Amino acid sequence: MSKIERFAVEESQYKSALIELLNQPHCDDAEVKRVKDAYEAAKDRHELAKTLLVSKSEPEVKAWERGHYGPLPFAGNTRAEKAFEAYKMGSFILAMNGNEYADRWCRDHMGVDAKAIKAMTETTPGAGGYAVPTIVQETLVYLREKASVMRQYARVWPMKSNALNIPILSGSVTANWYADAAAITPSDGTLTQASLTAKKLAALTVISSELDEDAVVAIGSYVAADMANKLGHEEDRVCFNGTGIAGDGGITGVMQYIYALSGTKANIASLVLAPAGSITTPATMTLATWQSGYGKLPVYAQDTAALYCHKTLFYSYIADKLVTLGGNSYSALAMGVGKEPEFLGYPVRFVQDMPATLTANQPFAVFGALDKGCAFGDKRGLNVQTSYERYFDQDAVAIRATERFGFSGAIDPGNVAAPGPASQFPGSVIVFAAQGT
């Protein structure tokens, strides 16, 4: 905070104290005079500082551009734009904790009266908090969508109610050859439905009032990124590998759904089993295992296909084989290096909420087109609220984020039939799973 800003805060504090005194039914005249003199002196210092300390020839340095900080995960084309997004979030948090300068900045730059919001949460404890302004919520929405891989690549369906049925073509029409004037036998497409049921996911964080006003960008960056990451990663965990239990929000992930299509795993068209012994000996699972899964994917799904797996698993079960190829073979086959590797010509997208190692009789990776095989239902946008009353005794403000979404991995799972290209028809998502030891 600059000297001019500190003088402004001082002036504002004395002004508030004077107003409070004058509103008392029996105020002390001597005390009123003392506070009034202090207010006028602070006002004079503020005006003098604005006159003498501001150089008209030098460009103004924005508050969010002063600090030195690491990479920021916010939207924006430049570092300054990203810092501004972090500064908005941090200023709102400071203002909710009673910082006068941050409160005035929020009013001037965001049109947000944080002091009024704080007062409302203190006087209405049963109301469950007060909604964070849209301009702050937008930052959290952006970060959550960056954190959730499934939300980025699955098809997102808006949900107007708690349930949504999606039509699926499960049986196709047929084409046959006929002689001239021969009757054509009709064949009807078969429609089934996949159901999306909205579930509630929430995150809560408590921020102490003992915050450094010179670290506004860092505060905003930490709080926003942490909350958004927790929500986004939990979406990935259940949408990829949820088992339908209460701890997974009742959601069955796409890997578990396809893996459970039949007790006879060889009959699941969209499933590839790793060789026995792969759990204890990674070298047992050769590139041929992955090739068989890639070869199963239908042509209609290949345009948006990618391999989804944990980073550790990729480097333990794929990259180790690629390294041994060496030379041109390695680069031509994989390009499996760096933060955005490719494998067999398709992108590899790391999902750190998928299994990092192989577990007996459990799926561990997905290859395919999530936009064709999965449906992500967005019932309600991210709802963020604050409450000062709940942690009043700790001099802290609570920030709560909730969302409601549904998920189905049953959009295009392929069929269940005896092994063979004439009987099995894989869907647009291929699942890799480990066998028992």
Backbone angles phi and psi of 162, in degrees to 5: -75, -10
Residue 23 DSSP label: T
**255 and 240 Cβ atoms separated by less than 8 Å:** yes
Residue 47: the pLDDT is: 82
Residue 253 pLDDT class (50, 70, 90 cuts):
very high
**258 and 429 Cβ atoms separated by less than 8 Å:** yes
CATH of domain 128-162+202-437: 3.90.1690
Residue 310 DSSP label: -
DSSP bridge pairs for 168: 192
Burial class (CB in 10 A: 0-12, 13-18, 19+), 234: buried
Q: Which of 435, 391, 68 is nearest to 275 (CA)?
A: 435
The DSSP element (H or E) to which 80 belongs, if any, is helix 79-96
What's the token pair of residue 173?
């029409």
Mean pLDDT of all residues belonging to the chain: 80
* 160 pLDDT higher than 80: yes
DSSP bridge pairs for 194: 166
Average pLDDT value for residue range 257-271 = 96
Q: Three-class SS of residue 331?
A: helix
Between residues 2 and 310, which one has the greater pLDDT? 310
For the chain, the structural domain boundaries read 128-162+202-437, 163-201
Among 35-44, 183-192, 284-293, 413-422, which stretch is predicted with the lowest mean pLDDT? 183-192
Residue 310: the pLDDT is: 96
Going 266 to 267 to 268 to 270, the CA torsion angle's sign is: positive
DSSP bridge pairs for 406: 377
**426 and 416 Cβ atoms separated by less than 8 Å:** no
* 433 pLDDT higher than 90: yes
Burial class (CB in 10 A: 0-12, 13-18, 19+), 135: middle
Going 315 to 321 to 327 to 332, the CA torsion angle's sign is: negative
**137 and 112 Cβ atoms separated by less than 8 Å:** no
Going from the C-alpha of 325 to that of each of 282, 288, 336, the distances in angstroms are: 16, 14, 12
Residue 66: the pLDDT is: 58
Among 92-101, 350-359, 416-425, which stretch is predicted with the lowest mean pLDDT? 92-101
Residue 122: the pLDDT is: 46
List, for residues 60-119, the tens digit of each pLDDT value.
556 565 555 555 666 667 777 777 777 777 777 777 767 777 778 788 777 767 666 555
**408 and 369 Cβ atoms separated by less than 8 Å:** no
Average pLDDT value for residue range 312-326 = 83
Among 127-131, 136-140, 174-178, 195-199, which stretch is predicted with the lowest mean pLDDT? 127-131
Among 50-59, 302-311, 317-326, 412-421, which stretch is predicted with the lowest mean pLDDT? 50-59
The fraction of the chain above a pLDDT of 90, given in percent, is: 34
Q: Three-class SS of residue 33?
A: helix
Rounded to whole angstroms, how far apart are CA atoms 368 and 269?
13
Residue 125 pLDDT class (50, 70, 90 cuts):
very low
- What contacts 315, CB < 8 A, 6 or more positions away? none
- What contacts 147, CB < 8 A, 6 or more positions away? 228, 229, 231, 232, 233
* 234 pLDDT higher than 90: yes
Backbone angles phi and psi of 348, in degrees to 5: -110, 125
Residue 178: the pLDDT is: 85
Residue 416 DSSP label: B
Average pLDDT value for residue range 209-214 = 56
Residue 142: the pLDDT is: 65
**402 and 437 Cβ atoms separated by less than 8 Å:** no
Q: Which of 36, 47, 59 is nearest to 8 (CA)?
A: 47
* 174 pLDDT higher than 70: yes
* 280 pLDDT higher than 60: yes
**250 and 197 Cβ atoms separated by less than 8 Å:** yes
Rounded to whole angstroms, how far apart are CA atoms 304 and 210?
48
Residue 33 pLDDT class (50, 70, 90 cuts):
confident
Residue 367: the pLDDT is: 98
